[in-house]
Structure 1
Amino acid sequence: MLREDYSVWRCGRHELSLARPRVMGILNVTPDSFSDGGKNLDPQKAVTRALQMLDEGADIIDVGGESTRPGFTPVSPDEEAGRIVPVIRGILEAAPTAIISVDTRHAPVAKVCARLGVSIINDVNGFSDPAMVQVAAETGLGCIVMHWNKLGAGSSRRSVTLDSVRPARSVPTSTRRFTLPEEAPIMREIMGFLGDQARILMRAGVKRECICVDPGPGFDKTADEDVVIQRATRKLTSMGYPVCCAPSRKRFVGAISGVTEAPQRDFATAGVVLSAVEGGARVLRVHDVAGTAQAVNSYWAVAKNDARQGFISLGSNVGDRIGHLTQAVRLINEIPLTCVVQVSHAYETEPAYGIATPVVNAVAEIRTELHPTVLVEALMDVEAKLKRVRDPRMAGHGPRTIDCDLCWVEDEEHAGAKLTLPHPHLGERDYVLVPMEDLMHDPARFLIHAGVPVYAPGDRVGHVTAEIGELDWQ
């Protein structure tokens, strides 16, 4: 299919597709951050909030242990690590495939976090410390290079004196004034710094595809300057690196929206973010993950033609099992911005994961323009329409009229309790892999190429015992 953007941001063991915008949830483990200081200082509260953001649609969790608000008090690397290390450990214990960014300007902290399993270093000093450059080169993590150099060219509002075009003995000149400072010197300085730092990283051994740039809104910049920078997002993307948009609740957002209190600026932040997305920004660093995800996903769905391939595993072991599978496929085909392309035959399979009775399984191939977290909600609605009952004592493995598992979506990687993509058990399930053979030549090879480990047939669970036949869903 044709896409505007095929770029991939390589972040350690993750390859994050930027074919659509990605939401980075801010997790401040600090007592003094400008809008949410102290809320997540307790490690358990911080972990809980991180997992909540993943379910709200965050693709990345950005964990920071030092506030960099205006007038901030610096903390030592030891104190910063003491705040964030337990949180990072807790997140990865609960969601091992989560993509975590560490927001730090201290190389020792970045190095410790790399060993814990973080995927991104977000350095507000733009990797101006050679020790941080060395950490980036040694670890292969994703790098966010931020601009925090004070703008030196001056950025007062422009005025231009216009001479009259009519010849006259005494014609007064007129002055045209502008609401914003001139863009060229501001962007020349910011893009020059970001480009220089990116080249320093690459000369040290960091791969180009690991680098993302951030113009640093709010960091020693006036509101006027920040607006100029946001309007120039398209110029930033022309540098060839992914662009991070990080305006969340900043002072300039309050200036343009008239909202005084920082925690109340989320709607205004969403407006700035959508403008940046239209300009090509693909990493969106925000406090309000749920609201931003809703705004961006809705915008993307109506503004972009961006259908993705996906596979849904269907299973039933109660009542009219074939009938339940058939009805589920019909309901899936009715989901907005989604269509069923083809469906495998139905197969009798051995029970697995504590299920007591044999299951009838099939796999549906779909095309969808919905965000995966939106699609999974629609699939849960399908289950509800077919009267599935979930027994909390059986951890989701009890009898079911229908089970709709979103197993894989093209270019999508997600972690969370509500949805993990690719499905963490996809490669071990015979009752998914065998039906997929009806849909493609070699599903094992397809999934391995997509980064999914696939078990040998004898090592799988839920083995297929018989083919039942086609589903008459059309």
Structure 2
Amino acid sequence: MLREDYSTWRCGQHVLSLARPRVMGILNVTPDSFSDGGENTDPAAAVERALQMLDEGADIIDVGGESTSTWRPGAKPVTPEEEAHRIVPVIRGILAKAPTAIISVDTRHAAVAKICARLGVSILNDVTGFTDPAMVQVAAESDCGCIVMHWNKLGGPVTRRMVQLDSERPARMRRPVPTSTRRFTLPEAAPVMREIMGFLGDQARVLMRAGVSHDRICIDPGPGFDKTYDQDVVIQRATRKLVSMGYPVLNAVSRKRFVGAVSGVKDAPERDFATTGIALAAVESGARVLRVHDVAGVCQALDTYWAVTKADPRQGFVSIGSNVGDRLENLSRAVRLINEIPMTCVVQASHAYETQPAYGIETNVVNAVVEIRTELAPIVLIDRLLDIETQLKRVRDPRLAGHGPRTIDCDLCFVEDEEHAGPKLTLPHPHLGERDYVLVPMEDLMHDPVRYLMHAGVPVYAPEDRVGHVVAEVGELDWQ
């Protein structure tokens, strides 16, 4: 389908589509961060917070073990050993519970970056912009995505602009009109952006000369880092200029001091609403990654903003199954209810198939697959599918870990250009390629589902190695 934006960001084993904006959740495991210091110093609590952010809609978790407050005069910087001690258990814990999660590590230390890349981190977020040759080497030796941030004190005095306006004296006036001065509320944008864009472009080229491909690089103008409030506003207004450089642009204004200055909110933790406003303005100007503390709030605002301003239907597949009551009718009712989900329609439904039990289920199941088009974010869509299960009176026995009898089971298996990891939703579905009861019904919907899924990066098992084998066709679903 035609889209306004085809760009992607290659991060390790992930190819993150930027056809819609992505949210990066901030996970500071530091005792002294300016807005959330001390909240996640316990590794177990930090892992739980990361999983919570994934369920709230975060696409990326950015783990940091050193607050920038340690760079201020008189402060004691965190050693690489201490930073690794803080973040390594957290990264391991997240990947243990969400193996396909996209994790970014916020570090300036090459030794820490190297350890994290080996652990499975997908993104290196360097606040010093890869000015350390050792960091460049780590980036080149890994396949991680790289965030180049500007943190150089902008040169020259910061003054507001003013120009002299001369007026000609009309012939009928005896006295000359005095020269007037026009004053501006912000400094001139050109020198500010020339310096920032020059640095970001230079450092991106340093990475590429070292072997980092262009599609792995993202840029961040570094709001709040040795910049005045006025300069930060100038930078935000120039987001389109940053986008024109040809790299994904990260917007990282969350709870920053300049957000408080323009909103009037003094306490950093109270600046989330103001942060959301600036983030949405950045998205409208082309920024495609939002680094935020309040993941739930920003995702709600972003999903609704995107839904009402952008036409962005995506193909998806929902696997449905029933082994209680009138199984064929249960499937038909489920498809009718899926077709009623807002901003979602059923394109077609496969035939229903009798399949062998799998995953501890004791009886045969009738399964089908539904092709949909949806403009809802996947994390929103999964909630609507769970509502359908409730409406059709599915009962979940916690002792059976989701594998007990069910009037209906609705699994969101695949959504075009989407990948996600979390307790509530993993996309593509982690068991998609091994389920005969999904792959066979998909043959009713497309010519070669195995080729389609393999092209999308989903490994598919040979028929004899699958689970839940199809044993008979039951009939068509009555949903229209």
Task: Please report the TM-score for the alignment, with normalisation by the length of structure 1.
Answer: 0.99
Which SS does the other structure have where 1:281 is aligned? Answer: coil
Identity rate of aligned residues, in percent? 80
| Alignment partners' CA distance in 2, 1:154 and 1:191 | 19
Work out whether 1:431 is the aligned partner of 2:437: yes
Which SS does the other structure have where 1:185 is aligned? Answer: helix
The AA in structure 1 aligned to 2:159 is: S
Over the aligned positions, Cα root-mean-square deviation in angstroms equals: 0.9
Map 1:285-364 onto structure 2 (within 5 A). 285-364=291-370
Map 1:200-349 onto structure 2 (within 5 A). 200-349=206-355
Match of 1:160 among 159, 163, 183: 163
Deviations 1:358-383 (A, max 9, x none): 10000000000000000000000111
1:115 is aligned to 118
2:63 is aligned to 63
2:185 is aligned to 179
- Kindly indicate whether the alpha-carbon contact (under 8 Å) linking 1:155 and 1:182 is maintained by their aligned counterparts in 2: no
- Once the 2 structures are TM-superposed, how far is the Cα of residue 232 of structure 1 from its aligned partner? 0.5
Deviations 1:34-57 (A, max 9, x none): 000000011111111001000000
1:54 is aligned to 54
- Once the 2 structures are TM-superposed, how far is the Cα of residue 165 of structure 1 from its aligned partner? 2.8
| Alignment partners' CA distance in 2, 1:449 and 1:128 | 37
- Once the 2 structures are TM-superposed, how far is the Cα of residue 161 of structure 1 from its aligned partner? 1.1
Which SS does the other structure have where 1:100 is aligned? Answer: strand
Work out whether 1:44 is the aligned partner of 2:44: yes
| Alignment partners' CA distance in 1, 2:357 and 2:169 | 91
Deviations 1:7-26 (A, max 9, x none): 01001111100000000000
Map 1:138-153 onto structure 2 (within 5 A). 138-153=141-156
2:203 is aligned to 197
Which SS does the other structure have where 2:247 is aligned? Answer: coil
- Kindly indicate whether the alpha-carbon contact (under 8 Å) linking 1:153 and 1:186 is maintained by their aligned counterparts in 2: no
Which SS does the other structure have where 2:163 is aligned? Answer: strand
1:14 is aligned to 14
2:377 is aligned to 371
1:448 is aligned to 454
| Alignment partners' CA distance in 2, 1:344 and 1:299 | 33
Q: How many residues align?
A: 474
Match of 1:86 among 78, 86, 89: 89
Could you list the structure 1 runs, at least 4 aligned residues long, displaced by more than 3 angstroms after superposition: none
Which SS does the other structure have where 1:121 is aligned? Answer: strand
Which SS does the other structure have where 1:88 is aligned? Answer: helix
- Once the 2 structures are TM-superposed, how far is the Cα of residue 2 of structure 1 from its aligned partner? 1.7
- Kindly indicate whether the alpha-carbon contact (under 8 Å) linking 1:153 and 1:185 is maintained by their aligned counterparts in 2: no
Deviations 1:134-185 (A, max 9, x none): 0000002100000000010333111111111335653211111111111100
| Alignment partners' CA distance in 1, 2:85 and 2:203 | 29
The AA in structure 2 aligned to 1:280 is: G
Deviations 1:101-131 (A, max 9, x none): 0000000000000000000000000000000
| Alignment partners' CA distance in 2, 1:153 and 1:471 | 71
The AA in structure 2 aligned to 1:366 is: I
- Kindly indicate whether the alpha-carbon contact (under 8 Å) linking 1:242 and 1:281 is maintained by their aligned counterparts in 2: yes
Work out whether 1:137 is the aligned partner of 2:125: no
- Kindly indicate whether the alpha-carbon contact (under 8 Å) linking 2:169 and 2:176 is maintained by their aligned counterparts in 1: no
- Kindly indicate whether the alpha-carbon contact (under 8 Å) linking 1:77 and 1:106 is maintained by their aligned counterparts in 2: yes
| Alignment partners' CA distance in 1, 2:64 and 2:188 | 34
Which SS does the other structure have where 1:365 is aligned? Answer: strand
- Once the 2 structures are TM-superposed, how far is the Cα of residue 469 of structure 1 from its aligned partner? 1.1
The AA in structure 1 aligned to 2:107 is: T
- Kindly indicate whether the alpha-carbon contact (under 8 Å) linking 2:106 and 2:127 is maintained by their aligned counterparts in 1: yes
Which SS does the other structure have where 1:310 is aligned? Answer: strand
Which SS does the other structure have where 1:375 is aligned? Answer: helix
- Kindly indicate whether the alpha-carbon contact (under 8 Å) linking 1:155 and 1:186 is maintained by their aligned counterparts in 2: no
| Alignment partners' CA distance in 2, 1:178 and 1:166 | 25
Task: Please report the TM-score for the alignment, with normalisation by the length of structure 2.
Answer: 0.98
| Alignment partners' CA distance in 2, 1:383 and 1:3 | 33
- Kindly indicate whether the alpha-carbon contact (under 8 Å) linking 2:168 and 2:177 is maintained by their aligned counterparts in 1: no
| Alignment partners' CA distance in 2, 1:26 and 1:306 | 27
Deviations 1:47-85 (A, max 9, x none): 110010000000000000000137354100000000000
| Alignment partners' CA distance in 1, 2:361 and 2:314 | 32
Which SS does the other structure have where 1:380 is aligned? Answer: helix
Which SS does the other structure have where 2:354 is aligned? Answer: strand
Deviations 1:180-220 (A, max 9, x none): 11110000000000000000000000000000000000001
The AA in structure 2 aligned to 1:416 is: G
The AA in structure 1 aligned to 2:108 is: R
| Alignment partners' CA distance in 1, 2:157 and 2:147 | 26
Which SS does the other structure have where 2:253 is aligned? Answer: coil
| Alignment partners' CA distance in 2, 1:73 and 1:56 | 35
Gaps of 5+ in 1: none
1:104 is aligned to 107
